[in-house]
Chains A and B, each alone.
Chain A
Amino acid sequence: MVPIQYYLLLSAAVFCIGVFGILTRRNALLFLMSVELLLNAANINLVAFSKFHGNLTGQTFSLFTLALAAAEVAVGIGIILVLYRNFGDVDVTKATTMRW
Chain B
Amino acid sequence: MVYEMLAFGLFALITIASSLGVVLAKDVWHSALLLGAALLSVAVHYVMLEAEFLAAMQILVYVGGVLILITFAVMLTRQAQTEAEEVTEL
Please list the residues of chain A having a beta carbon within 8 angstroms of any beta carbon in chain B.
Answer: 1-2, 6-7, 10, 13-14, 17-18, 20-21, 24-25, 27, 29-30, 32-34, 36-37, 40, 43-44, 47-48, 50-51, 59, 62-63, 66-67, 69-70, 73-74, 77, 80-81, 84, 88-90
Interface SS of chain A: helix, strand, loop or mixed? helix
Q: Which residues of A contact B53 (CB under 8 A)?
A: 59
Residue of A nearest to B74 (CB): A29
Interface SS of chain B: helix, strand, loop or mixed? helix
Give which listed residue, B39, B51, B72, contacts A77 with CB less than 8 A: B72
A-B pairs under 8 A by CB, number: 122
Q: Which residues of A contact B80 (CB under 8 A)?
A: 84
Query: Are the CB atoms of A69 and B66 closer together than 8 Å?
Result: yes
- 20 more A-B residue pairs beyond the given contacts A29-B73, A63-B57, with a C-beta to C-beta distance below 8 A: A6-B8, A14-B16, A17-B19, A18-B23, A29-B31, A29-B32, A29-B70, A30-B23, A33-B35, A36-B62, A37-B23, A37-B38, A44-B42, A59-B51, A59-B53, A70-B65, A81-B73, A81-B76, A84-B77, A88-B84
B85 CB to nearest chain A CB (Å): 11
